[in-house]
């Protein structure tokens, strides 16, 4: 297969490219700079440009690009960057694939369980509506921007990803050094639910969505049983054999993180109903095995 990707330099994108190459597939990696290596093509999401030559002949397009949610404090300027990087990028890719004489059969777009907002203790699956607030609004606009692809008859999938358990990057990657130092612990009350997924299962789920005909619409990419922050941090302590007794009070998080603290303290109890119904099997369904998998070389 020949698969085009945006966001191939990110945590998930890099892992997906490695997995595809290991199985003999070819990739076209879209970059914002001038292409400098074989298998690269140019795109400019703000200008709405995607090199059509990079898309022609592809069996699938996977769109994962977007500014990091937790990379900066949420100033008004960075909130615009978060929104624009997702909405403008998705619109550019969707228009580009729809304009091809022979479009790819499937477009898999990144999304997030942030779509549901703060669900408290209420479990939600893909049938739940969007929540309220900044991140749910962004996710809803993000997914809506793929309309040109859907309208062109391209099978369009939205991968609503949870917190990816990985040591090499992302939010979880920043937690490992803290817990190894013995200063990890719950955030706020610790009662908020975290919907997590191992990096291995994230990549496997993306490939499952690419390869399985008939699947379209939203899919929660999360482990079957979300856990509370308190349960997650206790598991980190057990696996790393370090105390996990420290806690960061909610007022401190709000002071340090500003509006971003809403995402850290919010509860998202998302379950992968459609993914499991479609027959996907998790290799690491539990938190401790997901953490151990992240520590493998």
- Domain with 95 in it: what CATH number? 3.40.50.720
Band (pLDDT 50/70/90 cuts) for residue 174 is: confident
| pLDDT grade for 259, boundaries at 50, 70 and 90 | low
What does the pLDDT read at residue 255?
A: 58
Residue 116 · residue 124 · CB < 8 Å: yes
Predicted pLDDT at 95: 98
**pLDDT tens digit sequence for 197-255:** 999 999 999 999 999 999 999 999 999 999 999 999 999 999 999 988 777 776 765 65
- What is the arithmetic mean of pLDDT over 146-174? 94
Which candidate, 174, 195, 169, 162, places its Cα nearest to that of 7? 169
Structure-model confidence comparison of residues 264 and 191, the more confident one: 191
pLDDT for 297: 80
**pLDDT at position 263:** 66
Average pLDDT on 7-15 reads 96
**Range from 126-135, 201-210, 254-263 carrying the lowest mean pLDDT:** 254-263
Alpha-carbon distance of 52 to 28, in angstroms, equals: 11
Tell me the mean pLDDT in the region 23-36.
96
For helices 229-240 and 170-180, the axis angle rounded to 10 degrees is 50
Is the alpha carbon torsion for 62, 63, 67, 70 positive or negative?
Answer: negative
Q: State the total domains in the chain.
A: 1
Please give the mean pLDDT across all residues of the chain: 93
pLDDT greater than 70 at residue 55? yes
Phi, psi dihedrals of residue 141, rounded to the nearest 5°: -65, -40
Residue 213 sits in which domain range?
2-295
């Amino acid at each position: 297969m020949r698969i085009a990707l945006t966001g191939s330099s990110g945590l998930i994108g890099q892992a997906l490219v490695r997995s595809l190459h290991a199985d003999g597939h070819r990739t076209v990696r879209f970059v914002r700079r001038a292409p400098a290596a074989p298998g690269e093509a140019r795109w400019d999401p703000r200008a709405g440009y995607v090199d059509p030559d990079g898309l022609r002949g592809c069996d699938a397009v996977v769109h994962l690009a977007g500014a990091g949610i937790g990379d900066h404090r949420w100033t008004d300027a960075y909130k615009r960057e978060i929104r624009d990087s997702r909405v403008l990028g998705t619109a550019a890719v969707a228009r580009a694939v729809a304009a091809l004489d022979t479009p790819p059969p499937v477009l898999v777009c990144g999304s997030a369980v942030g779509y549901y907002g703060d669900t408290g203790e209420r479990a939600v699956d893909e049938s739940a509506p969007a929540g309220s607030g900044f991140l749910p609004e962004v996710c809803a606009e993000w997914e809506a921007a793929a309309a040109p692809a859907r309208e062109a008859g391209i099978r369009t999938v939205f991968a609503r990803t949870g917190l990816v358990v990985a040591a090499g990057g992302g939010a979880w990657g920043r937690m490992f050094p803290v817990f190894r130092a013995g200063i990890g612990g719950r955030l706020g009350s610790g009662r908020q639910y975290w919907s997590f997924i191992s990096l291995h299962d994230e990549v496997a789920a993306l490939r499952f969505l690419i390869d399985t005909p008939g699947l379209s619409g939203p899919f929660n990419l999360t482990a079957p049983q979300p856990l509370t922050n308190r349960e997650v941090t206790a598991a980190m302590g057990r696996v790393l054999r370090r105390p996990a007794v420290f806690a960061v009070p909610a007022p401190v998080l709000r002071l340090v993180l500003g509006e971003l603290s809403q995402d850290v303290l919010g509860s998202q109890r998302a379950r992968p109903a459609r993914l499991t119904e479609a027959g996907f099997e998790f290799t690491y369904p539990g938190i401790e095995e997901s953490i151990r998998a992240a520590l493998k070389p």
